[in-house]
Structure 1
Amino acid sequence: MNRQTVTRAAFAIAFTAMTLAPTAHAASFFKKGTPDTQTSMKKAGKTIKFTVRNDSNEARELRVGDDVVTIAAKSSKQLEAADGTRVYSNTATDKVAAGTLMVQLSKDMNNATLALN
């Protein structure tokens, strides 16, 4: 082989290696510590347990995610929802309009009490 052929072959190998290096790095089988998808979703979807206490004289409806929950007057109810779930008022009162965002659940709210006046 002449010098020009060797140079072209070396250039082709180097070009291929540089092109494939980012792809190889991004491939999941090269990463030993990569968590699987379900494990990371379980961590992100942690269940938050909380209590809603209705101190008013009338029943209130709340929309917790896609579920509508009725809290009787002067009573409490324990609920569970995923981290990040939004809780909306589903009943209009003189203080809060229906559809108002009451709270967005976070891990800091685990075992907390939400009081409705």
Structure 2
Amino acid sequence: MRVTSDLWVSALLRRVFGAGGFAAVVKRGATEAGAVFVLARGRLGEVALFGPAPQTSYDSAKPDDRFFSLLGAGDDAAVLDARLEREKKFDPDIWVVEIEAGTVPVEELISVKTP
């Protein structure tokens, strides 16, 4: 059984804070099954947006895991913010979590699948 989005986001916040980083829920979505987007900010101004991975990325042996894919990265946060606004218009139940991971790579905090 897959955990709720609310519980998963709470666990992510604890992992980030436990690793010495900072995290905040920018937009709270549907408690049970809202899609989660992670906006990762670096200390030098770089930004990366991670969103739910395509269904083909999921392993049938572990169907309850949450996987993410990189949707965009760079120094221009406005481009990624615009992408999030489009996602919000498409699905108003999404979660947006902004993190500054600190010394731990984002890939250690969330499961990132590369295409």
Same fold (TM over 0.5): no
Instruction: Output the TM-score relative to the length of structure 1.
Output: 0.26
Bigger RCO (CA 8 Å, 6+ sep): 2
Q: TM-score, normalised by structure 2?
A: 0.27
Q: Highest Rg: 1 or 2?
A: 1
